[in-house]
Amino acid sequence: MKKEDLIVVAQLLAAMKDIVERLAVAERNKDAVCYDRRAKKKYRY
């Protein structure tokens, strides 16, 4: 593998890690988000 290939792979891995972390945070916050939406609906109607 060339140095450039390694850099590309490293960038891909970093991007994947970022996505996975965001998904994990989204999972944790899902209940809160659902609750917010319900609260907004209650407030609207």
> Tens digits of per-residue pLDDT, 4-34?
999 999 999 999 999 999 888 888 777 666 6
41: pLDDT confidence band, cut at 50, 70 and 90? low
User: Phi, psi (5° rounding) for residue 41?
Assistant: -60, -45
Q: What value does the mean pLDDT of the chain take?
A: 79
User: Phi, psi (5° rounding) for residue 2?
Assistant: -85, 165
Residues 6+ apart with CB under 8 A from 9: 1
Rg, Å, the chain Cα set: 19
pLDDT at 45: 45
pLDDT at 15: 94
pLDDT at 5: 94
